[in-house]
Structure 1
Amino acid sequence: MNLVKVPRYIPTATKYLDLAENRIASLQKSSLDHLLQLQVLNISQNSIRDIAEGTFGRTKNLSYLDLSYNRLTSLTKGMLSGLGNLTVFLLNNNVIQSIDLDAFASLVNVKSINLNSNMLHRLEEMSGVFNAIAAETLHIGDNGLVHFSTQNIPIVPKTLTELDVSKNPLVLCNITTDVLGSLLSLDLSSVGGNGSVVLHVAAGSCLKGMKKLPLGGIHMAPPEIRALLASIRNVSLEDIQLNNLQLQATDPLLLEICILHQNLRVLNLSGNSLNPLNGDGVFRPCVHLEHLDLSMNKLSSMSSSLFNNSVALRLLSLASNELTVVPEAVLGACGLESLDLSFNQIGRIDPQDFATLGKLKRLLLAGNKISRVAPSSFSGLFELTELQLGNNYLLEIANFSSDLKRLTTLSLRRNKLNFIQKHTFIHLQNLDCLNLIDNQISDLHEESFEGLSNLKHLLLGSNRLTAGILRGYIFSPVKSLKDLQLFDNCLTYPSSKKLDRAPFTSLKSLDHLAINSQAHNGLQHFPVNLLEGLDSLKELHAGNIAISHIDPNTFQYAPNISFLDLSNNAFKSINFSLLLHLPDLIELHLNKVGLQNLDFLKQARLINLKLLRATGNQIGLVNPAHIKAMPSLTFLDLRENPFMCACDNSWFQNWSLSGNKTQVIYFDRFTCTYPPNLKGMKLVNFNSNSCLIHFEFLLYISSSTIIIMTILVSFAYHFWRWHVVYAYYLFLALIYDSNRKRGRNERYKYDAFISYNAQDEQWVLNQLLPNLEGNNEWTLCLHHRDFEPGRPIIDNIVDNIYQSRKTICVISRHFLESEWCSREIQVASFRLFDERKDVLILVFLEDIPPDQLSPYHRMRKLVKKTTYLQWPQHQEERALFWLKLRTALKTAENKDESPLLSGIDSGPQC
C-alpha cells in the first residue's frame, strides 16, 4: 500500500498484522505501542534501516516476527528488547554486518532464527545469536562466510538441533569441538564458492547425534565427499542429500555410500548424471533405504535387477527423466508404497509393469505420453489409493481394473478425452475424487459414473459439456457427491424459466458447486429452479456467466448457501429479496457487477455475513444503514469504486479507520471521482473536520439560550404577567371573532351573558334570576345551565358572549381571583373594542379598592366610561338598582348611555 510508516488507525485488538511490501524506512518507539495484543507481525520487503530502542517494548505477546528483505545493518539488545515471547524470528536478506553479543540474550523463547543472505562474513560477528538459549533451528547460510570453525563458537544452545550453513563460500570448515553435539542436521549444501572447500570433522563424538547431512551442490570432488563421509562413520546418518553433484553411475561414492552408513534411510541423488544406471550392486548394500530420489538424472535405461533385494524401499522417485517404458527394475522393489514416474516419455502401460508391486499405494504417471489405458493396465495393484494420469495423450479410457477397489484419487486432467463410456469407473467403488478437468468431453452416458457410490469430488471443469447433456440422469449414480466443478463448459439456457427437470435434483449431499466461466460465455440465463434439490449446498461459484438477472426465488432451492460468488455479471442492481432466502450467507462476492449502491443490504438480513467483496462497481457512498445490516462483517473489500470525497462519506471514512471489528481491505487505495476538483484524491486523505458537528459548542449555545430565555420568561411573568395573559386571550378572541364574522347573525339568542364566580352563585340564583327572568322579561345565559356539554370551555364562552346582547359581570373579590371569569371579561372586552358597542355591564357586589382591580378592568376605563352598578346593602335602595339594571339592558348597543345611568360617581371605576 506504499505505506511509509505503521498506520495509527490499526485497531488496538489486532493480533495478526501484515505490512509486507511497503516503503517503511524505520520503526520508532511509538510505531507499535498501541498494538498490545499483537502476536504475528510480517513487515518484510520494506526499506527498514533502523529500529529504535524499545520499539517492541509493549508487544509482549509477539511470537512471530518477519523482518526479512529489509536494510538492517546491525542488531542490538535495545533494538530487540521486549521480544521475550518470540518463537520465530526471520531476518534473512538484510545487510546485517554485526550483532551485539547480548542482542539475543532476552529472546529466551525463540526457537527458529533465520539470518540467511546477510553480510556476516566472520563467525565472530554472529556469535551473539548463539546466546538465544532456546534456539532449535538456526539459518546462517549465504552470508559470505569463508571460515567456519567450532573453536570460534564458545557456546551453543543445547536445544539447537538444526544448523544451516549452506551457500557460504567456505574455504575451510573445521568441526573439532563438541559444541554442536546436539545437532540432528547440518546443512552444508552449495558451500565452497569458486574453489573447493576443505571440510574437516574430528574423529570422536563432536557430531555424535547427527541424523541428516545435506551436501547437495557442495563444491567438493566426489573423492573428498567420500573421505568426509568416511571420517564420520561413527555418526549414525539416516538422511544424506547428494543432489546436483554431477555424480556418475560408476562413481565409488555411489557404490560405497550405503557401506559407509549402513543405517541410511533417505538418499537424494536427484540432478546428477546417472544414466545409464546399470550397476547391479549399486543399492544392494542399502538394506535400510526407504526413500530414494533419482529424479532429473536423464535416465533412459537401468538394470532390471537394480532394486533387487531393496525390500525396505518405500518411496522411489524417477520423475523428470527420459524413460520410455516403465522400467523393469521397479519390480525388484516389491515393498514400494509410492512410485513417481511423472514427466518421462512413457507411451504405454502393460499389465506386467507393476505385477509385483502389490503394496503400492501411490502411482504418479502424469506428464507422459500414454494414449490408452486398458482394463488390465493396473492389475494386481490391490492397495493403490492414488493414481495420477494427468497431462498425457489419452483419447479414451476403457473400464479400469477391478483390482483398484481401494483407489480413492484418480486424476485424468489435461488429456484429450471427449466421451466417457458407461461403466468406465464401475469397479472403483471407493473412489473419492475424480479429476477430469481440461479435456474435450462433450458427451456423457447416463451410466458414465455408475459404481461411484462413494464419490465426493467430481471435477469436470474446462470441457465441452452442454445443458442438454445434464438434463438426464447423469448424476444419479453419485448421490454422495460433495463437490461438483462444471466451470468453463458450454452450459447455456434460453431463458430463466423453470426447467422441466433440474440437473442436480439427485445431489442431496452436494455442498460445493462451480459453474463459473473465464470466457464470459456461460449460462447467459439462470433458470429459476437450476439449484433444485441442492438442500445441502454451501458454496456456489457463478461468476462471469453472462447473466443480467436472477429470479428472486432462485435461492429458495438452496437456502443453506454460505459462500456466493456472482462476480463479473452485468446486474447493475441486486434485488434484496434474492438474498432473503440465504440467512446463513457468510461470504458474498459481487465484483464488477455494475452496482450503483449497497442499498440492497438494508433489507437483505445478512446477519451472518463476514466477508463482502464488491470491487470494480459504481459505488460512491456507504452509509451507516449499509453496515448496520451486516452486524458480523469482518472483511469489506470495495476497491476500484468511484467514491465521493464529501461529507456524506465522512462517516464511512471515520468508521473504516477506527473500527475494531471490520477490516476495510486496502482502504488506503480508495480514490474519489467526485467532486471534480478532488478527483483522484484518496478517500483516506479527505479532510472531514468541516463535516463534524461540534456538540460541545452546540451544547454551550443551547444551555446559554435556555438560561437567557428562563430569565426573560421569569422577568416577564413577574412584571408583565397580566399584560401577556390579556394579550393571549385577546388574540384567541380575535381568532374566534374572525370565524364568527363569516356567518354572523344579528339576531341574538340571549339578552345577557352572566359572568360570575361560583362563590357568588347564590346571589345570582336568589337575586338576579328572579328579578330579570321572572315573568319571562329577560333571557339570561348561565354557564352551569346553558353551556353545551362536551365542547371546550373557551369555545362555549366565546360563542355565548357573542350570542348575547349584553354581558353582565358580577364582580367580587372571588371573581377577580377566578381564571375563567378573567377569560370571560377579556372576551367581552374584545367584543367591545371590535364592535364598538356598549355591551358590557359591571355589577359590583362589594367595595373593592382600585389598586386591587386587575389591569383588564383599568384598561376598560382608558377606552370608554361604561355602565357600572353597585349592589346596595340597604333593602330600600335595591328597587332603584333593579330599575337601573333593566334600563341598562334596554339601552341600544350603539346609542349613548341613558341619562339615568350617566355621570354616576359612586362605586369603583374601571
Structure 2
Amino acid sequence: MLSSLRTMYALLYICLRLQIGQTDPCKFDERCQCSKTSKGYVTVDCSWKNITKIQNLPKSTVCLNVSHNLIEYTSKRFFESAKYLSTLDLSFNKLSSITVATFNGLWKLRYLSLDNNELVYNNHTFQKETFRDLKSLSHLSLKNNNIRSYDCKRLPDDTIMQLSALEKLELDACVCGDDIFGKGFHYLKKLKSLVIRNNYICSMSKYTFRNTRNLQNVLIHGIGEISFRKGTFRHLRYLKHLEMSFDSKKGGIVSPVEKIAKNFIYTSIETLKLGQLKIPLHTFPLYILNKELYKNNITEICLTDNAGKGGHFPIPMGAPPQTLQILDLSNNSLTRFILDIKNFTRLILKQNLLGDFLSTESYFEKKTDEYFSMIETIDISQNDIKELAPFTFYSQPLLHHIDLSNNKIQDITFDLSCLLALEFLNLSNNRIKFFNESVMRTINTLVMNKQLTIDLSQNLLQCTCKTIPFLRWMIESNVLFVDLQKYSCTLEDGSIIILNPFEYKVLQLEKTCKSYLGLIIGVSLALLVVIMTVITTLVYRYRWKIRYMYYMTKGKYSYQKISPDNDDEYTYDAFISYSEDDRSFVFNDCIEKLEKEKNFRLCIHQRDFMPGQDITVNITNCIHTSRKTVCLITKKFLESYYCMFAFNMARMESIYSRHGRNILFLVFYEQILPKELPLVMLELVQKESYMEYPNDEQGNVVFWEKIQETLRTNVRAWVFVINRNREVHVSFCFQ
C-alpha cells in the first residue's frame, strides 16, 4: 500500500514538472550549455557548435548566444517559445535574409546582434514588419553585413522607424553618399549612440546627421577613407562624445582637420578621440582645435596611433583648453613633448620615443616655482626610457598612478619623495635588479600613512648576498608587490630561479650567505693582517727615507738644488751635531781650530739655525747645505732624539742626494762599548780599519790636520775615536 502511494506521488510530481515546463533546460540540445539564474530563468550558450537551427528552446530562456555557427535562415517559429528572451546574439553566421515573423513575440528583447552575416541593407532583407514586435529593443548591431555590396543601400526607413525604443545602433556605411540616415531615423527619438562601420569610401556633410539630432555619442570605425564637409556636425547640438579610428593602412581621414574642428562650435563636445589620422602630428597641433574647443566644455582629447607620422610635439603650442582633463597621445612616435598640464587629471604618452627627452627634461611646462598640476595619472610606458630626470614629477602633488612599464629602466633616478599621494607605481618589464638604500628609505616614508602598490613583475631581480637587504625589505615593508610569487631572479652563478614561495627562497639565500660569511670574514681579516704587516715592514724599513723625503719637502728650500759634485756651492763645510753636555768641546776646540785658524765654515745649531722653523726642518736643511756632517758621539748623543735624527738624516742624504758618497764624520768623544751602539752605527764603524795615534801634543796636531784635510777631500767614510783624555784613534779611507 505504501509503495503504491509513493509511485502515485512520483508520477504526479513528473506530470506537474512537465506541465509547468520545469524539465532540465539543458536537454533540448546536448551541444549547448545552459545555466539558471537566481530567479529561475535560463541562459543558453550554443556558440561555436556548427549549429544550423535551434528547436525546443526553453520558455524561460532570457539570454541566447548562437554566434559563430552555420545558421543560414530563420523560420517564423524559430524563437516562438522564448517569450522572456532579452538578449539574442546571431553574429558570425550565414544569414542572408530574415523573415517577417522571425522576431514575433519577442516583446522583451533588448539586445540583438546580427553582426558579420550576409544581410544587405535593402527592402528584401529587412522588410517593413521585420522589427514590428521589438518594442523594447534598445541596442541593435548590424555591423559587417553591407560590405559585400558595392551597390550600397541605406537601411529602409519603413523598417528602422519601428524601433521606437532604440538607444544604440551599430551599422555599416559604404559608398552611399552623404545621406546615410534617411527619414525613418527621425522617429528614433531615443537614439543616443551611433556606431558607424566605414567600409569603403564615405563622405559626410551637413545632411548626414539631420535626421539623428538627438545623438550624444558617435563612433566611426573603418577600414576605408572618410571625408568631412563643412557643417557635418552642425545638427548635433547634444553631441558629447566623438570617436574616429581606422584599422588599416588604407583607412583614415582625408579631409583637413580644420573642417572637423569648426563644426564643434555647434555641439556640446566633451570627448574627442581620433586615431590613425594619416596626418603628421606636428601639422596637427592642439592649437588648431583650441580656437573652437575653448568655447566648449571639452574634457578629453585622444590623438593616437600615428606611429611614424609624429616625430615631435610642437613646442610651444599654446595652452590647452582649461576644461581639458585627459590627453592621450599614444603611439605617435613623439620624440619631444612639453605642455602646460596644470588642469589635467590624466596624461597618456605610451608607445612613443620620449626616452632621451625625459632623461633631461620634464613633460610639465612650469610657469613659476609655485605652479603645480592637478594631474593624478601619468602613463609613459613603452617609451624606451633608460632613466628619468630627478625633477620629472616635481609640482604634481596629487599624482597617485604612474605607469613606467615596458621601458629599459635599471635604477630609480627620479625623486620619489615629492609623491606623497602615490598609490600605484608600475615598473613591470624593465631592467631593475634591486632598489638601493636611499630609494627604500624614501618608499618607507611614503607608505607610513598610505598604501602603495608597486609592480616589479617581468624584471629579472638579482639574488645575491649583496641584495638580501632589498629582498628582505620586499617581504617586511608595507608595500604591496603585484604577483610577488611570480618574480624571478638571477643567482651568483648566473642561473635563474622563480621566487615561489618568495619568503622561503629568500630564507634559503640568507642561509647560504651566512655559511660563507665566517669564511669571508676570516679570509678578509687574514688578508688585512698580511697587508698591514707588509705595509708596516716597508714603512719601518724605509722609515728614515720617508722622513727624509718628508722633511726635505717640508723645508721648501729657497735655494736652487746644487750639484752634489760642486763643492763650492755648499753653504757650510761641515754641520756639527752634538749633545748639549759637549758644547764646550765644540765652541773651544772645533771653532778655534777649524773656523778661526783654517777658515772653515761650520754650522752650529745654537748659532746658525733659522729661528721660527721646526728643529727637524733646520737639521735637514743644514745637512743638505753642508759638505760634511760631523757627529760628536757620546752616550748623551745616543740618548738624544734630535742627535740620532741628524745621524740618520745624514745617512739618507748620502744615499739619495750625494749618489752614495758618505758625508758622515763620526767622532767618539767617550768610551762606548760596541753593544751600546745602534746597529746601523756599529755596521758603519766595523766596516773601517783603524790607525792609532799617541796621546801627546804632536798627536793632537796630526788629528786636527787630518780633520782639515778630510773636510777638503772626498772621503768615503770617517770614524774618529777621541776620549776625554785626548786619546785619539782615527780611521779613514780616501776615495
TM-score of the superposed pair, with normalisation by structure 2: 0.59
Say if 1:393 and 1:497 are closer, same or farther in 2 by CA, change over 3 A. Answer: closer
Q: Given the alignment of the two structures, is residue 509 of structure 1 paired with residue 325 of structure 2, yes or no?
A: yes
Contact conserved, 2:691 with 2:730, CA < 8 A, in 1?
no
Q: 1:635 and 1:813 mapped to 2: Cα distance?
A: 81
Q: 1:558 and 1:716 mapped to 2: Cα distance?
A: 62
Q: 1:473 and 1:781 mapped to 2: Cα distance?
A: 95
Q: Which residue matches 1:340? A: 141
Question: 2:667 is matched by which residue type in structure 1?
Answer: L
Q: Which residue matches 1:458? A: 273
Contact conserved, 1:316 with 1:340, CA < 8 A, in 2?
yes
How much does 1:245 deviate? 6.6
Say if 1:884 and 1:745 are closer, same or farther in 2 by CA, change over 3 A. Answer: closer
Q: Which residue matches 2:220? A: 411
How much does 1:601 deviate? 6.9
Contact conserved, 2:275 with 2:302, CA < 8 A, in 1?
yes
Q: 1:802 and 1:755 mapped to 2: Cα distance?
A: 14
| Structure 1 gaps, min length 5 | 1-176, 179-200, 221-231, 517-522, 568-573, 591-597, 614-621, 639-649, 671-681, 686-693
Superposed counterparts of 1:55-454, under 5 Å: 202=14, 213-215=25-27, 217-218=29-30, 238-239=41-42, 241=44, 253=56, 258=59, 265-266=62-63, 275-277=74-76, 282=80, 286=83, 288-292=84-88, 296=93, 298=95, 300-303=97-100, 307=104, 311-319=107-115, 320=117, 322=119, 324-325=125-126, 327-344=128-145, 347-349=153-155, 353-355=159-161, 357-366=163-172, 372-374=179-181, 376=183, 378-391=185-198, 395-397=202-204, 398-401=207-210, 405=214, 407-408=216-217, 410-414=219-223, 416-424=225-233, 427=236, 429-437=238-246, 439-444=251-256, 445=259, 446-454=261-269
Q: 2:24 and 2:675 mapped to 1: Cα distance?
A: 119
Contact conserved, 2:404 with 2:426, CA < 8 A, in 1?
yes
* Count of aligned pairs between the two proteins: 611
Contact conserved, 2:305 with 2:331, CA < 8 A, in 1?
yes
Q: Given the alignment of the two structures, is residue 813 of structure 1 paired with residue 635 of structure 2, yes or no?
A: yes
Say if 1:554 and 1:753 are closer, same or farther in 2 by CA, change over 3 A. Answer: closer
Q: Given the alignment of the two structures, is residue 484 of structure 1 paired with residue 302 of structure 2, yes or no?
A: yes
Say if 1:497 and 1:477 are closer, same or farther in 2 by CA, change over 3 A. Answer: closer
Question: Considering only aligned residues, what root-mean-square deviation do their CA atoms show, in Å?
Answer: 6.9
Say if 1:558 and 1:857 are closer, same or farther in 2 by CA, change over 3 A. Answer: closer
Q: 2:583 and 2:21 mapped to 1: Cα distance?
A: 125
SS of aligned partner of 1:473: helix
Q: 1:905 and 1:703 mapped to 2: Cα distance?
A: 59
How much does 1:219 deviate? 8.1
Q: Which residue matches 2:288? A: 473
Question: 1:760 is matched by which residue type in structure 2?
Answer: D
Contact conserved, 2:405 with 2:428, CA < 8 A, in 1?
yes
Question: 2:169 is matched by which residue type in structure 1?
Answer: L
Say if 1:880 and 1:509 are closer, same or farther in 2 by CA, change over 3 A. Answer: farther
Q: Which structure dedicates a bigger proportion of its chain to helix?
A: 2
Q: 1:245 and 1:832 mapped to 2: Cα distance?
A: 112
Residue of 563, 566, 577 corresponding to 2:380 = 563
Superposed counterparts of 1:536-615, under 5 Å: 536=344, 538-540=347-349, 556=363, 562-565=379-382, 586-587=403-404, 605=414, 610-611=427-428
**Cα deviations by residue, 1:409-453 (Å, 9 ceiling, x for unpaired):** 533534552225335165253533523425442113041444454
Q: 2:565 and 2:405 mapped to 1: Cα distance?
A: 70
Question: 1:809 is matched by which residue type in structure 2?
Answer: C
Q: 1:242 and 1:624 mapped to 2: Cα distance?
A: 47
SS of aligned partner of 1:417: strand
Question: 2:97 is matched by which residue type in structure 1?
Answer: S
Say if 1:483 and 1:865 are closer, same or farther in 2 by CA, change over 3 A. Answer: same
| Structure 2 gaps, min length 5 | 1-8, 147-151, 367-374, 395-400, 417-424, 441-453, 475-480, 498-515
Q: Which residue matches 1:851? A: 675
Say if 1:214 and 1:430 are closer, same or farther in 2 by CA, change over 3 A. Answer: farther
**Cα deviations by residue, 1:51-99 (Å, 9 ceiling, x for unpaired):** xxxxxxxxxxxxxxxxxxxxxxxxxxxxxxxxxxxxxxxxxxxxxxxxx
Say if 1:907 and 1:305 are closer, same or farther in 2 by CA, change over 3 A. Answer: closer
Q: 2:170 and 2:547 mapped to 1: Cα distance?
A: 103
**Cα deviations by residue, 1:119-138 (Å, 9 ceiling, x for unpaired):** xxxxxxxxxxxxxxxxxxxx
Q: Percent identity?
A: 15
Q: 2:434 and 2:561 mapped to 1: Cα distance?
A: 49
**Cα deviations by residue, 1:210-248 (Å, 9 ceiling, x for unpaired):** 79834564389xxxxxxxxxxx9xx99522649677558
Q: 1:601 and 1:510 mapped to 2: Cα distance?
A: 29
Say if 1:373 and 1:730 are closer, same or farther in 2 by CA, change over 3 A. Answer: closer
Q: 2:621 and 2:214 mapped to 1: Cα distance?
A: 105
How much does 1:458 deviate? 1.0
How much does 1:816 deviate? 1.0
Q: 2:232 and 2:593 mapped to 1: Cα distance?
A: 121
How much does 1:868 deviate? 11
Say if 1:787 and 1:743 are closer, same or farther in 2 by CA, change over 3 A. Answer: farther
How much does 1:781 deviate? 2.8
Q: Which residue matches 1:782? A: 604
Q: 2:140 and 2:572 mapped to 1: Cα distance?
A: 122
How much does 1:840 deviate? 2.6
SS of aligned partner of 1:334: coil
Q: Given the alignment of the two structures, is residue 842 of structure 1 paired with residue 667 of structure 2, yes or no?
A: yes
SS of aligned partner of 2:576: strand
How much does 1:610 deviate? 1.4
Say if 1:882 and 1:458 are closer, same or farther in 2 by CA, change over 3 A. Answer: same
Say if 1:585 and 1:850 are closer, same or farther in 2 by CA, change over 3 A. Answer: same
Q: 2:413 and 2:639 mapped to 1: Cα distance?
A: 65
Contact conserved, 2:335 with 2:352, CA < 8 A, in 1?
no
Q: 2:519 and 2:271 mapped to 1: Cα distance?
A: 66
Say if 1:426 and 1:581 are closer, same or farther in 2 by CA, change over 3 A. Answer: farther
Relative contact order (alpha carbons < 8 A, sep ≥ 6): 1 or 2 greater? Answer: 2
SS of aligned partner of 2:194: strand
Say if 1:381 and 1:209 are closer, same or farther in 2 by CA, change over 3 A. Answer: same
Q: 1:277 and 1:497 mapped to 2: Cα distance?
A: 59
Contact conserved, 1:381 with 1:404, CA < 8 A, in 2?
no
